[in-house]
Amino acid sequence: MVMNGMKWFSATAVLLLMLLLSRHAYAGYSTVLAALIVWAGSMAVMVQAAGLRKYVWVSMFTLIGVLFNPVLPVSLSRSSLLAADCATLAMFLLSLATLKSAPRLSIASLTDRTPGSLSL
């Protein structure tokens, strides 16, 4: 549940980044904030994919994390950055459909009677 929210939030940040890039040459703090959100989302999805042993997804989201790194940003031309944003948006939306964690099972209660148990 939390992971799906993070993926949707990151996809929205990529969309916001694409809109800011198309309207302004440099949007300042909002671009840095959107890049930070996308970076954090890519790192979270990378950890989820590693837990599910989907190593192709790990490598793709590591590449997205490097591309949107807020500390050492990668400088790309405007058209290639727009293409990278579109690919990143597609990856986040695709990860929503394909990377599903198994639900955690609840712990059985010690006081609950199990069906078919014998009393002492």
The tens digit of pLDDT for each residue in 50-106 reads: 988 999 999 999 999 998 888 887 887 778 877 888 898 888 889 888 877 766 666
Kindly state whether residue 56 falls inside one of the protein's structural domains: yes
**Domain encompassing residue 79:** 2-98
For residue 95, what are its two tokens?
Answer: 């990860």
Domain count for the chain, please give it.
1
Least Cα distance to 78 among 31, 29, 8 occurs for 31
* Residue 89: how many other CB atoms lie within 10 Å: 19
Whether residue 62 is contained in a domain is answered as yes
Q: Environment class of residue 74 by beta-carbon count within 10 Å: exposed (0-12), middle (13-18) or buried (19+)? A: exposed
